[in-house]
Amino acid sequence: MPNKITHAEVRMYRMGTGDCFAIKFFAGKGEANVKFKMMIDCGVWTGSKARLQPFIEDLKTYVNNEVDLLVVTHEHIDHVLGFERCSDLFTNDFDVKKIWMGWSEDDSLSKVSNWKTEHGQKKLALARAAERLKNSIQAGLENRLATEHKGNSIFNAKKGFSDSLNGFADLHIQSLNGVYVGLLEGMRVVKKEIANNNIEYKYPGEIVEDIDGLDGVKIYVLGPPEKWNIVETEGGGEGESYTHNTTLKEMDAFAASILSSAAGGNTATSPFDDHYSDLSTSQASGYTKEDWRTIDDDWLYSAGGLALRINSLTNNLSLALAIEFTDNKRVMLFPGDAEYGSWSSWHKINWSETPADSTKHLTEEILNKTVFYKVAHHMSHNGTAQRLGLNMMKHKDLVAMATLDYDNIGDKWSNTMPNHELIDELLTKTKGRLIIMKEDKIFYDFDNTEPLANKIIESRKKMTAAQKTAFDKAFEADPDGRWFQYTVRA
Amino acid sequence: MINKQSATNTAVHGPAFRKLRGYAFDPSLSLNTDTFFINNITYKVPWEDELQTGPVGEYVEVIDYDPTIEKYYTPVDLDAEYLLAEDGLDPDENNPQFHQQMVYAVAMTTIKNFENALGRLVQWSPRRLADRKEFEKYVRKLRIYPHALRDANAYYSPQKKALLFGYFASNPAKNTLHMPGSFVYTCLSHDIIAHETTHAILDGMYPHYSEPTNADVLAFHEAFADIVALFQHFTFPEVLKHQIAKTRGDLASQNLLGELAQEFGSAIGNYGSLRSALGKKDPITKKWVPNEPTGEEYATIMEPHNRGSILVSAVFDAFLTIYKNRVSDLLRLATNGTGVLPAGDLHPDLVNRLANEASKSASHVLNMCIRALDYCPPVDITFGDYLRAIITADTDIVVDDDRNYRVAFIEAFRRRGMYPHGIKTLSMSSLGFQKNRLSHGIAELFGSITAQLRNYSNNVIYEKDREEIYKQTKAFIAKSEFEDMTPGGLHSSFMASFDNSIEFEQLTGLVFNSDWSYYGVRTSKSYKDKALGPSFRIQDLRLVSRVGPENKQINQIVFSIIQRSGVIINKGKFAGHFIPPDDPVEYEKGKFDFYGGCTLIFDLDSLELKYAISKPLLDIAKLKEAMKSQIPTQIKEIRKIDTARAEAQYRYQHEEAPMHLSEYTQYFSGGMANFLNEPFSFLHQH
């Protein structure tokens, strides 16, 4: 009986913006020839247990209550919420033989635990600032602005800021009744309840072969990068992706102040010696005499920068995997939500293998041969590097899957997702073989007149008849709408 | 407090200047032996008799409250005897009172530069109120909070009429300049303070410039603020002397100044980022080389920050050309015409002369750039409009351009692909705004308006109190200058004079006919005798008196009229009008506020309208045609909205801008159509 893997079914669960994938590897046709079952993440922006349960149950049935490998890419709610909401479904009658996470999840390493403490403080500061801003906006800001010209619009803009900031806080921080309790519950469930001394922490440059059941398949570990300074790189400058002008380190003073005032005191380091402080009331009356000019809460808006830095950093900690069918080198790329800093680091990995074309770096060849791409970070601009990413994906069979759903997404995330240039690139490169979790309400143009769905249909006309037949055959949709599935040939 | 009139010195007048020590750059350069000498300079700011502790003076009030730790710092008293004797406090990062002194010194220096160039007193933008009767309130003092944020940012708040400066833990990437973990204060950087003060002054003249109606508007605000900061720096000759003396290199090449310009901005945060367009250090030779413009910049670079840098580099390019011209004779003298300098140190006289020429060129360029503001349209500015403003303003006051300043500007803009919209050739005469040829009838109407303006000018010309000037101006316009308000004044005369005048509409591009509602313009009840008419606003009426280098004197009245029209766009095309409410919370899709405006410049000596610089609501070409063919005024057939401009604004705000916005703006702003929550904070965050 042949054991070599012939194809893989990639099933994207459509729970809402967020990743949940099940992949079955076959050596020949039919369920009897399933050789390996893999699951990547289980998250969504929001969802109750009741709503998520049918999806998870479907997944369990699909993999027959057992996976050989569970990959958890990174600690964001849209990648782990399912483990939290439906923890009992994962801890009962479900067998996980092995778990992979990025090396930055290995709490036994002191550099990881030290960093996590420090980083945890920043996340906490983000949550506190978001909370304070929300309170400040609820505490009569609307009335105060009512006397100002265009006060309504200003209030709306400020409230929008606060909503978006609170969305970022929720993405990162577990709170119970408003109290921060530590790492995301979904992550805890995986580490403490699902895992059974079977977590492996992966480093970039690792090439995993000889996996039981995965004959003819190799897995390349691309990210997370091994150096913090690379993890902290979000943008690559002109022609690469966005650039930013502040660093997380520069938010230290902000975090210190937020945390100490939340703890009830104002013990945050004052930049000046005490004798410069003015305890008289004369200054105070000068400050408050025109109350419309006071600035008590304006500094809280700096948390926006903090939120973006923390968000990108966590995205860059994504475990990024390239799954290669060794015979023809076709690749399935699962980058998690890796951003530019991670993508660029892949090109500096000191691989133990040399590519067939020795003028290239192996990473470039991996990207050249990519035939299936799970679009990173729900099609945001930063999620896919241009020069060092998409431009190198040149395979004629390229198919992309994106986990974007406008019915279940954070405030204002739809401003960056999808990125319109990225959509254009993907549509061209895949000839419309771009599978989006939910196309409803997503438009191709900014004027919201041309639905993306139409544009995809139009782009698909560029496929040859053979390509079209092959694609239609490989693509499958659950009649109940729970998943989309695409079969990748080896 | 000092005794200002001591018994023995009764005849002594107050001093002209208050000298205050401060950093020329920012504190980090004081730790570097190369730059230590030049970093501490003495600012000479206009003496204020009534300066309170804070400092709180006529123009600014420094309030040192740190909301992040809820602390006040003791305000500095610059009139304290010891401080007067010592030119203020010693530069010291650890003393908040020095921080107060520094922001005061630089803000006042910037204000003084504007007043010198503009020929009038600086006014802050008034506080707009929701109440339409009261409309707005005068703001005498700009507030300055030196320690307002814990962030690598500083910004001008148009809502609070305040500058907020941040401080932050230094980034270890710059270990060589800053001790890691120590605080960096944006309020100690000359460039940042000058930059933010400029935002505030510009907002006082053109509040609509913080509304992103095309790709240039925000970029202009940012670039202009940077231009002022940059050239203000170059006006300090002591800074330049040291650098020129130190450099034994090629003096003829202007690289030294380019490199300096970049260094000025590089020390703290992002403020130098606009200047990265000037050039860069060659990684191999370690020599600074200027970037050669490709001519594609203006057409391709859209992100406001990067786009602003095109304008900065164009103006800097013009400056270098001017400087080069001015020192070419000196260099011939110094090298005996060989172009090669003799070995050894430069002669100190040569150093002084070169530094003075650079400083003089900088001050001329700064003046040209600031003066041009009076010649800008009140809404929707583009870089091309600004070039035209620079050329026109300069032509007005400097008749003989014997040093080719204007050519230098045109050349620099052209090299970056920045062409004004709608001119036929790129010549001096077509670039400058033209004096309007008016028909006899309308000239007469303008004559009566100008006579009123001369009256106004006679009343305010000797008034030195800024609030009094504001009040008299407001009364002259209407006692209230907006729709729904008390009738009378200039506002009413406009409608009375120009009602249904197609020529006036063609001149201003605004709706002055009896069918205003058809064009989506609100109804004003503020006309005389409760007559109804189209709503429009008169903005920033000011008396301008300037003297040029050939003693040419200019006496002008300048003001802008602004009108709003509700426009509906469907599938990218103009689809009709609606009457816009005063403060729409959120418009339905396709609706937006479309502003038109016109800056009118009247010459008080010849009593005529000199220029009308317009961003029209109406299609000017159609109006011109109609005027030529003398068709009787079938209003709706002749007067069409400027659909091209309306569609362009909508396209920019809904399609183009979102492609180029920073991630920060996309996640946290209210969008281009609601850019009201601290626009300048957003501009600096990316």
User: Could you read off the pLDDT of B104-158 as tens digits, one per residue?
Assistant: 999 999 999 999 999 899 999 999 988 877 888 999 999 999 999 998 889 999 9
Q: Which residue is closest to A129 within chain B, CA to CA?
A: B68
Q: Name the packing angle between helices B348-371 and B304-334 (round to 10°).
A: 140
pLDDT of the residue at A452 = 92
- Work out the minimum CA distance from A28 to partner chain B, whole angstroms: 46
Q: Which residue is closest to B683 within chain A, CA to CA?
A: A245
B472-504 as b/e: b if 16+ CB within 10 A = bbbbbbbebbbbebebbbbbbbbbebbeebbbb
Bridge partners of A100, per DSSP, are A71, A200
In contact, A384 and A349? CB cutoff 8 Å:
no
Instruction: Indicate yes or no: CB of A416 within 8 angstroms of CB of B584.
Output: no
Residue in the block written with tokens 């001015």 = B326
Spell out the residues 6+ positions from residue A131 whose beta carbon is closer than 8 angstroms to its own: A166, A169, A178
Q: How far apart are CA A463 and CA B28, in angstroms?
A: 60
Tokens of A427: 């549509």
Instruction: Indicate yes or no: CB of A277 within 8 angstroms of CB of B71.
Output: yes
Q: What share of chain B is helix, strand, coil (3-state, %, to 5)?
A: 45, 20, 35
Among the partner-chain residues A257, A286, A295, the one whose CB lies closest to the CB of B148 is A295
- How far, rounded to the nearest angstrom, does the alpha carbon of residue A239 sit from its chain's CA centroid? 22
- Work out the minimum CA distance from B514 to partner chain A, whole angstroms: 28
Q: Which of B101, B50, B47 is CA-nearest to residue B74?
A: B101
Spell out the residues 6+ positions from residue B426 whose beta carbon is closer than 8 angstroms to its own: B410, B414, B419
Instruction: Indicate yes or no: CB of B169 within 8 angstroms of CB of A301.
Output: no
Question: Best of B134, B141, B150 to disrupt the A interface by mutation (most A CBs within 10 Å)?
Answer: B150
Tokens of A2: 């042949």
In contact, A304 and B667? CB cutoff 8 Å:
yes
Task: Give residues 316 to 355 of B whose Cβ lies within 8 Å of A.
Answer: none
Which sign does the torsion angle of CA A349, A354, A358, A363 carry?
Answer: negative
State pLDDT tens for residues A255-296: 888 888 766 655 567 888 888 887 776 667 788 889 899 999
Bridge partners of B523, per DSSP, are B534
State pLDDT tens for residues B74-98: 999 999 999 999 999 999 989 999 9
* B631: confidence class by pLDDT, cuts 50, 70, 90: low
SS3 of B177, please? coil
CA distances from B140 to A148, B114, B424, B468, B474 (A): 18, 17, 44, 10, 15
Q: How far apart are CA A250 and CA A261, in angstroms?
A: 19
For a pLDDT cut of 90, what percent of chain A falls above it? 61
Average pLDDT, chain B: 83
Q: Which of B116, B43, B680 is CA-nearest to residue B366?
A: B116
Q: How far apart are CA B512 and CA A418, in angstroms?
A: 45
Range in A73-87, A380-394, A421-435, A475-489 with the lowest mean pLDDT:
A380-394
Which sign does the torsion angle of CA A231, A235, A240, A245 carry?
Answer: negative
Spell out the residues 6+ positions from residue A259 whose beta carbon is closer than 8 angstroms to its own: A121, A124, A125, A128, A268
pLDDT of the residue at B177 = 46
- Looking at per-residue pLDDT, the higher value among A178 and B313 belongs to B313
Q: How far apart are CA A94 and CA A111, in angstroms?
A: 33
* B484: confidence class by pLDDT, cuts 50, 70, 90: very low
Is any Cβ of chain A less than 8 angstroms from the Cβ of B659?
A: yes
* A178: confidence class by pLDDT, cuts 50, 70, 90: low
For β-strands A174-176 and A179-182, DSSP reports them as antiparallel
What does the longest C-alpha to C-alpha distance in chain A come to?
Answer: 90
Instruction: Indicate yes or no: CB of B167 within 8 angstroms of CB of A302.
Output: no
For a pLDDT cut of 70, what percent of chain A falls above it? 92
For a pLDDT cut of 90, what percent of chain B falls above it? 35
Which sign does the torsion angle of CA A286, A287, A288, A290 carry?
Answer: positive
Average pLDDT over residues B616-635: 77
- How far, rounded to the nearest angstrom, does the alpha carbon of residue A456 sit from its chain's CA centroid? 24
Q: Which residue is closest to B591 within chain A, CA to CA?
A: A447
- Work out the minimum CA distance from A412 to partner chain B, whole angstroms: 5
Task: Give residues 54 to 93 of B whose Cβ lies within 8 Å of A.
Answer: 54, 56, 61, 63-75
ipTM above 0.90, yes or no: no
- Looking at per-residue pLDDT, the higher value among B268 and A94 belongs to A94
Most confident of A29-38, A261-270, A407-416, B621-630: A29-38
Q: How far apart are CA A137 and CA A157, in angstroms?
A: 11
Average pLDDT over residues A412-419: 80
Q: How far apart are CA A35 and CA B683, in angstroms?
A: 55
Question: Best of A302, A312, A419 to disrupt the B interface by mutation (most B CBs within 10 Å)?
Answer: A302
Question: Cis before residue B487, ω within 30 degrees of 0?
Answer: no
Spell out the residues 6+ positions from residue A114 whose beta carbon is closer than 8 angstroms to its own: none
Is any Cβ of chain A less than 8 angstroms from the Cβ of B303?
A: no
Q: What angle do CA A448, A454, A457 make, to 5 degrees?
A: 155
pLDDT of the residue at B55 = 94
Tokens of B235: 């006006």
Q: Which of B395, B67, B336, B366 is CA-nearest to residue B224?
A: B366
Tokens of B193: 């303070």
In contact, A19 and A403? CB cutoff 8 Å:
yes
Average pLDDT over residues A158-169: 91
Average pLDDT over residues B651-677: 81
In contact, B594 and B618? CB cutoff 8 Å:
no
Instruction: Indicate yes or no: CB of A253 within 8 angstroms of CB of B170.
Output: no
In one letter, which amino acid is B678? E
The DSSP symbol for B88 reads: S
Q: How far apart are CA A447 and CA B654, in angstroms?
A: 7
- How far, rounded to the nearest angstrom, does the alpha carbon of residue A335 sit from its chain's CA centroid? 9
Scanning B547-678, the segments in alpha helix (DSSP H) are: 620-629, 635-638, 643-651, 657-660, 663-668
- Looking at per-residue pLDDT, the higher value among A389 and B486 belongs to A389
- Work out the minimum CA distance from A12 to partner chain B, whole angstroms: 27
Average pLDDT over residues B612-624: 89
Q: How far apart are CA B618 and CA A210, in angstroms?
A: 74
Instruction: Indicate yes or no: CB of B583 within 8 angstroms of CB of A152.
Output: yes
Count of CA atoms in the C-beta half-sphere (13 A) of B495: 29
- Work out the minimum CA distance from B309 to partner chain A, whole angstroms: 14
The pTM (predicted TM-score) of the whole model is 0.90
CA distances from B137 to A145, A148, B287, B467 (A): 15, 11, 53, 10
